[in-house]
Amino acid sequence: MNSFALVVLASVIASSFGAVASSKSPRWEYDFQSPQAAVNPQVHNDLVIVPTNTTLHVLHVATGGFVWSFEYPNGDLGGYAAASDDFIVVGTLSSVYALSWNGTLIWTFSAPTGSRPTPFNHFRPSFGVGGIYVTTGYTPLIKISKSTGAIIWTAGASQGIAQLHATEALDGAFVYVVSAIGSTEYVVALNAANAQQQWNVSGVVTIIVSPALGVLFAQGGNATAGTITAYSLLGGALKYQLAYNGFPLVDYYLANTTLYVDKAATSSPYPTTILKYDGATGTPAWSVGDVNFLFFIPCSKGIVNFGSDYISAFDEATGALKWRYAATAVNDGAATSNNIIVAITAGKVIAFDF
């Protein structure tokens, strides 16, 4: 399993999307009262944080009860949120806002100078041990102070333009981010204290960092084959690679140490196939075909598929279809540690027990 290429030949041993499954009723629903573009919900302790294009909503994850909301100042458009035990941060088109757990504004980090490639580039914050990392989509990675929002460091131009979220690992020693250098995208590992580069690998689209496994998973590939590659967090040594011939773009999800791969992703023919692996070794466990793809949310009990017509849940152990719920236009979702699934649409937030 440590060879450079591990081409997956796992057979379909679980129920397909067309199998009979029980219907599902929501645990709760929360109505936005007006259409809002909601993305990137976060669950922290007993609260769910839902950023929309205009407002940050905070709800009780068990009941859906309203806690508070924060409307972005001056018509600013959001947003991507992150949470710690101390406070919440939400990124918008022009700023990062730090909010206490009662909704009070603590500080604001404003847009650094630079030329945006698109007017719809939102700041994406993520918490680390010694600060907050901000990707802008038009500057190298920025680290700011938790207490004031002041810049601690900005990575050098040679590290590229930081994309998506940055993730810290190894007890806060390193931070990992996808960066674009010219037309090539890399995963770059930086020293969290001083932004010095430790290692990089080219040809990467997105990453998932697993401190529990000591592994960084990277999505890549070419025009004829998509890949998911596992690298060591310390040093970037190759551990294994999963390759999917005929599928130029694949997507992937991690729950604890379980890796799920969606073989069709967004630019390939529908329907898709879901495959489950041991994340440590890349050993295949099961696959389920004929799934109506949009995106997936993993949890410890299995994986939930948000399709164009249904939300569907597949069992972690076998891949069997557990239940379905008729819903359309689901934008994003999240899962809690006790397997409450939170889905968001243009009009509401819907929660389910797995």
Classify residue 154: in a domain, yes or no.
yes
The DSSP symbol for 271 reads S
Residues 184-237 pLDDT 10s = 999 999 999 999 999 999 999 999 999 999 999 999 988 788 899 999 999 999
Domain-located, residue 203: yes
Bridge partners, 179 (sequence order): 162, 186
Examine the pLDDT at 45 and tell me if it is beyond 80. Answer: yes
For range 169-184, the mean pLDDT: 93
User: In CATH, what number is assigned to the domain containing residue 29?
Assistant: 2.130.10.10
Nearest alpha carbon to residue 209 among 154, 163, 170, 158 = 170
Helix (H) or strand (E) holding 260: strand 258-262
Q: Which residues contact 31 (CB under 8 A, 6 or more apart)?
A: 347, 348
pLDDT in tens, 234-250: 999 999 999 998 777 78
Closest CA to 180 of 203, 199, 149: 203
Confidence tier at 13 by pLDDT (50, 70, 90): very low
- Lowest-confidence pick of 152-166, 265-279, 324-338: 265-279
pLDDT tens string 269-292 = 467 889 999 999 999 999 998 887
In this prediction the pTM is 0.89
Distance CA 147, CA 122 (A): 22
Res. 17: pLDDT tops 50: no
Q: Tell me the residue range of the domain where 152 lies.
A: 6-353
**Does 343 fall in a domain?**
yes
Q: Give the max Cα distance, the chain.
A: 55
Residue 231: inside a domain: yes
* Total domains, the chain: 1
Q: Is the dihedral of CA 223, 228, 232, 238 positive or negative?
A: negative
Structure tokens at 186: 């890399």
The most confident of the ranges 147-156, 309-318, 327-336 is 147-156
Q: What is the dihedral of CA 187, 189, 195, 198, to 10 degrees?
A: -120
Percent of the chain with pLDDT over 70: 88
CA distances from 260 to 151, 173, 252, 354 (A): 37, 27, 6, 17
Q: Which residues, 6+ apart, have CB-to-CB distance to 304 below 8 Å?
A: 296, 297, 298, 311, 312, 313, 314, 333, 335, 341, 352, 354
Residue carrying structure tokens 């239940």: 323
Place of tokens 């698109």: 118
Structure tokens belonging to residue 177: 């981010």
Across 31-40, 89-98, 148-157, 170-179, least confident range:
31-40
pLDDT of amino acid 16: 45
1 assigned to some structural domain: no
Structure tokens at 79: 């947003």
